[in-house]
Amino acid sequence: MMTSSIAAVERDARLVNARHHGINPGEIAIGVIIGRTSEFFDFFVYAIASVIVFPKLVFPYVDPLTGTLWSFAIFALAFVARPIGTFIFMAIDENYGRSAKLTIALFLLGISTVALAFLPGYESIGVAAAWLLALSRIGQGVALGGTWDGLASLLAMNAPENKRGWYAMIPQLGAPIGLIVASGLFAYMVNSLSAEDFFAWGWRYPFFVAFAINVVALFSRLRLVQTPEFERLFVNRELQPAPVVETLQVEGRRVVIGAFAPLASFALFHMVTVFPLSWIFLNANQETGAFLVIEVIAAAFGVLAIVASGYIADRVGRRTLLGTCAAAIAVFSGFAPMLLDGGKVGELVFMVLGFVILGLSFGQSSGSVASGFSQQYRYTGSAMTSDLAWLFGAGFAPFVALFLSSHFGLIASGLYLLSGAVCTLVALKINKTLSS
């Protein structure tokens, strides 16, 4: 039944593309942004709930700090599971096609996300609530490993030679846009409902919205992967999946370097999104909704910075921009975290400055060494590189930053950022194939 349904969707997508004579780069860009926004919306809905909901719902028997640390430990499970998902779904891609892979992966992501809307608390089922939370989070991670569609590569390959940086930043716009929507939605719920109503049912609503967005993103992406442009690159093996083990055997060194090249921006990613919310929620006498509004404002600056990264990279080179941003992140790590104790003004400065640096760096971090993969392994190699970069750079960042800050002060959280900046600079130095 699933196979026949997927075949019908593929047939309809081909008919649509035939009537519209293919897809131009602008349409590909829109599809990529929709797809990435849906993924990051899921991501941030969970991240926000892991700070303001899950510690109280699932871990009420420990103090708030310990409950949040436990919540962040479960948060990291998705990043651990993601490479496993890539391994599974690349096999599905090889045997049943990319439409089957995307459909199964996005439905698994949607089901794992919407299941959280029905999550009972500790008071209802005891410690089983934590196990259900972990199971749903693992499901999200496995699913994310299957959402790699090659559309960002398709976009880059259709880009003019002198605008590669501009087109490379387009997929990255999904992160701040997803955060704006998620934070805005939670801020509305927090500010509109009483504390009792929000905790009873209000926090569950964004998870239903996430499922609906996933359905829209699925049909948008399925249409694009059936374009003549995608088909041609697939036939030429430029976007064809290869076995994961074989890819690692042949391109393992490049995968590792590619995972560490954007480590600074991936570490900063959680330092200006998830970690600040947890610190403010636990330590500052401030309404959660007010800080969520600050996140929305800062993320808007992040959008502008990502756009600027494309313009700058096309003039100075991606490698130069990434290296400069890594150095800026190292400087940022030495003083900026302490701004979180500086009241609303300090928080706003930290968030805006952090998002500007993040946008410039993150805008060019995707596939920073993908062009160096051999044609046969580019599709799978790029997916594995992305998985490992998120795992090493971002997966444990909220947990480590909150643990260090709580025990040694805010300045200690900068050590995590500093380590990421050093790794990026070393990886860029080792990798000689990045264009300058």
Give, in degrees to the nearest 5, the angle at Cα 78 between 72 and 82: 150
Task: Please give the Cα distance from 108 to 227 (Å, whole number).
Answer: 24
CB 4 within 8 A of CB 144: no
Token pair 């790590």: residue: 333
Per-residue pLDDT at 39 exceeds 50: yes
Q: What are phi and psi of 152, to 5 degrees?
A: -65, -40
Cα atoms in the Cβ-side hemisphere of radius 13 Å centred on 101: 25
Q: In whole angstroms, how far apart are CA 7 and each of 81, 97, 112, 150, 186?
A: 28, 10, 24, 20, 38
The dihedral built from the CA positions of residue 316, 319, 322 and 325, taken in this order, carries a sign that is: negative
Q: In whole angstroms, how far apart are CA 165 and each of 56, 429, 435?
A: 44, 20, 11
Task: Please give the Cα distance from 234 to 334 (Å, whole number).
Answer: 46
The encoded tokens of residue 118 equal 């029905």
pLDDT tens digits, one per residue of 408-433? 988 888 888 888 888 888 888 876 65
CA 267 to chain centre: 12
Task: Please give the Cα distance from 372 to 355 (Å, whole number).
Answer: 29
Task: Please give the Cα distance from 301 to 310 (Å, whole number).
Answer: 15
150 torsion bin: left (phi>0), alpha (psi -120 to 50), beta (else): left
Q: In whole angstroms, how far apart are CA 197 and each of 1, 64, 288?
A: 41, 20, 15
pLDDT tens digits, one per residue of 365-386? 765 555 567 778 888 888 888 8
Domain boundaries, the chain: 26-240+250-435
Q: In whole angstroms, how far apart are CA 363 and each of 131, 181, 259, 325, 358?
A: 36, 19, 15, 11, 8
What size, in residues, is the chain? 436
Q: What are phi and psi of 381, to 5 degrees?
A: -60, -40
Which amino acid, one-letter code, is at 31? G
CB 177 within 8 A of CB 43: no
pLDDT tens digits, one per residue of 120-148? 999 999 999 999 999 999 999 999 888 87
Cα dihedral 406, 80, 106, 110, rounded to 10, equals: -40
In this prediction, residue 322 carries a pLDDT of 86
Please give the average per-residue pLDDT across 210-220, as a whole number.
77
Task: Please give the Cα distance from 325 to 358 (Å, whole number).
Answer: 8
Output 219 or 196, whichever has higher pLDDT. 196
CB 433 within 8 A of CB 251: no
| Residue-averaged pLDDT of the chain | 83
SS3 state of residue 384? helix
Contact partners, residue 271, CB within 8 Å, separation at least 6: 337, 354, 397, 401, 413, 416, 417
Q: State the DSSP string of 245-302.
A: HHHHHHHHHHHHHHHHTTHHHHHHHHHTTHHHHHHHHHHSSS-HHHHHHHHHHHHHHH
Output 273 or 4, whichever has higher pLDDT. 273
Output 246 or 97, whichever has higher pLDDT. 246
Task: Please give the Cα distance from 192 to 182 (Å, whole number).
Answer: 15
CATH pick for 26-240+250-435 out of 3.10.580.10, 1.10.10.410, 1.20.1250.20, 3.30.70.980: 1.20.1250.20
Question: From the CA atom positions of the chain, what is the Rg in Å?
Answer: 21
SS3 state of residue 431? coil
What is the pTM for the complete model shown? 0.86
Per-residue pLDDT at 12 exceeds 50: no
Q: Residue 19: which pLDDT band, with cuts at 50, 70 and 90?
A: very low
